[in-house]
Structure 1
């Protein structure tokens, strides 16, 4: 006779129900443990993540820090710097004016979708303003950047340091920095350079598409040059501008400059430099791109190349580029410099033709996904590309600034002869320039300390 029959008809039923309840409870607990285990696995290890989840995780950990966006120029061009004319918290693809313009790629919703954590907004003025009102226009563009940030405080946060960038990202804001594109924005005045820095400018591109009296621009390297070299890359005065930027803590940007200018700046700067929006010349032989010999210097000096998305710099055969072409540039640069010296500088809102798949600032995750699909990139390398490399270089520039605190600011005026040598029209300029007759110059050199004699020579 079974034990159950001895206990009676109801006793066995209660025990069975108890066992069922205990078993069910154990099953629920086990399910919870397995579920938590799976979730932990998915969050702590990439093994179980989908490609899209992996991209999201990478950009959550290291949001995109883009080196170059010309939105302020489009605000000037399309809205006359009147921020009441356009709402950047809306999808501007639906805007009657902005949505039909091939050169507009940016608004806050798309920046958020693109996981942008920091953006260098460019205070750009055309080379046609050189020796005219370039300084005035640059000040206006810095003003519109600051007003833009002030108008959208829920999304944008003004930044002037590497710490500021990290603080903004921690606050779920888009760090917004000022960049100056073209040395003509400071003309040839150390005082103006220092004031641009005081207003928040944290890099200056040494030239745009025109030579300055102290630096040569990239068109001197074109196959059919439209400019002639005038300063052997950088004149002595140009080298002093680089020195003063080092002292200030302003990053030296070598996009748009000639190869000789790149080489001399890399050799002279005591801080790492950046190329805020340039690609690989070995892939597309355009004078705006960076040759391999310079990429080697980038690696040796701990500097940074931020890849540009403009179609004409990505493909040189006249065909429209696609996201795979951009991947090719990125992989080539990494192959020369290693993963610590490459970043992203899309040049959105500054160009009218972009690669298929990278149509606007929302598409950065697609680029990260395309790189992941190659199988050549670790998560850590992609985090360096997306923003960590820029933070590292920015901190290094700040460290050099701090180490030079005892150094006096540059105070010498550019020589009138130097301006006249480059046929600068001084009729619109009322500033006084130092003039030295040959006999005076010789006497000055003889009496000066050896360091000054070398500098003057």
Structure 2
């Protein structure tokens, strides 16, 4: 079964390798590098049809280096992921997914945290032109747009952050709430035409600030937003140990109980997590999740979780009401 995965951090791994940090093998080869959980061969083996690739910057980077680091990751997206793997096709517009041929894998460029462009909306518009189709205003830290989930102050969107959401709307770009503070989340709900939680779970099952509580989940569903469950162990169970695929499926069950069966997807966070669900260690194992889901849900519902729910909730693509 096809898979659409809305979050991974392969670009950061490629950048760290290029810069000589952490990885002895220099540089990493996206095609088959063992340390890249979403390498091309694993995406192909796991049935992935579309993979999102996030540009992520460490928050302690000096401000005057952030734009350069972001552009370096964008360049790696073009040269290492697209340039060296002919079957990887850049999704520049949401309609491009429909044009993918058999054997081709779509690659979507995203931004995890507005730190890259600071307060310069001209840089944001450049990112749109480069193909960024989903933007999270923050990582866990605060920035000029909003407070992240890890910021004790817990503030909402700034005037700049609200301008970014409006620009996202105009450009048919998702506004990603996965790392936002609670107040920031509700500000986005008021403004965003295309909200997504690209990698978050249910706070009712695991009380972590990166997860969504029931009222947030219901608000996402009311706005035709997607919630894509994440494989990070800390977001699945308290005091996680020996996490199995059914533990993750319980989060899907919970979101379904809130009315979200048509708005749940997958956002693995591969290449950004240190420990893994048993039998779901990299992208080649996605069908293990599909097989387990098929024990509990209809084929139609499983296809929804795997890829079709996302296709029906792409920005500006005649969204179907749930």
Structure 2 equivalent of residue 65 of structure 1 = 4
Q: Helix, strand or coil: the match of 2:6?
A: strand
Cross-structure match for 1:189: 120
Q: Which residue of 2 aligns with 1:240?
A: 163
Counterparts in 2 of 1:117 and 1:234: CA distance versus 1, 3 Å: same
Give the direction of change, closer, same or farther, for the CA distance of 1:158–1:298 in structure 2 (3 Å limit): same
Gaps of 5+ in 2: none
Per the alignment, residue 256 of structure 1 pairs with: 179
Contact persistence 2:138–2:148 (CA under 8 A)? yes
Aligned residue among 99, 103, 108 for 1:177? 108
Preserved contact between residue 31 and residue 85 of structure 2 (Cα < 8 Å): no
Kept in 2: contact 1:306–1:342 (CA 8 A): yes
Aligned pair partner of 1:393 in 313, 316, 319: 313
Decide whether the 8 Å contact of 1:130 with 1:185 is kept in 2.
no
Structure 1 segment 11-410 matched on structure 2, within 5 A: 59=1, 63-80=2-19, 85-90=27-32, 92-93=33-34, 98=35, 104-129=36-61, 131-168=63-100, 170-220=101-151, 227-229=152-154, 232-269=155-192, 271-374=193-296, 377-396=297-316
Shift of 1:130: 5.9
* 1:256 counterpart SS class: coil
The alpha-carbon deviation at position 136 of structure 1 amounts to: 1.3
TM-score by length of 1: 0.66
TM-score in terms of structure 2 length = 0.92
Q: Secondary structure at the match of 1:74?
A: helix
- CA deviation vs aligned residue, 1:62-104 (integer Å, no higher than 9, x gap): x1110011111111122439997333333x44xxxx3xxxxx4
Please give the root-mean-square deviation of Cα atoms over the aligned residues, in Å. Answer: 2.0
Spell out, residue by residue over 1:314-357, the C-alpha distance to the aligned partner (whole angstroms, 9 max, x if none): 12224232111111111111221321111000000011111112
Q: Is the 8 A contact 1:233 1:262 kept in 2?
A: yes
Change (3 A) 1:366 1:272: same
Q: Distance in 2 between matches of 1:265 and 1:129?
A: 26
Kept in 2, the 8 Å contact 1:280–1:332? The answer is yes
Distance in 2 (CA, whole Å) between partners of 1:267 and 1:299 is: 14
Higher helix share: 1
The answer to whether the 8 A contact 2:55-2:70 is kept is yes
| Unmatched tracts of structure 1, length 5 or more | 1-58, 99-103, 221-226, 401-457
Number of aligned residue pairs: 316
Distance in 2 (CA, whole Å) between partners of 1:318 and 1:86 is 30
Taking the aligned partners of 1:235 and 1:130, their CA distance within structure 2 comes to 21
SS at match of 2:231: coil
CA distance in 2, matches of 1:198, 1:106: 25
- Looking at structure 1, the residues matched to 283 and 262 of structure 2 have their Cα atoms a distance apart, in angstroms, of 23
CA distance in 1 between partners of 2:315 and 2:173 (Å): 11
Greater C-alpha radius of gyration: 1
Give 1:118 shift.
0.5
- Residue 371 of structure 1 and its aligned partner are, at CA, apart by 1.1
C-alpha distance in structure 2 between counterparts of 1:259 and 1:207, whole Å: 12
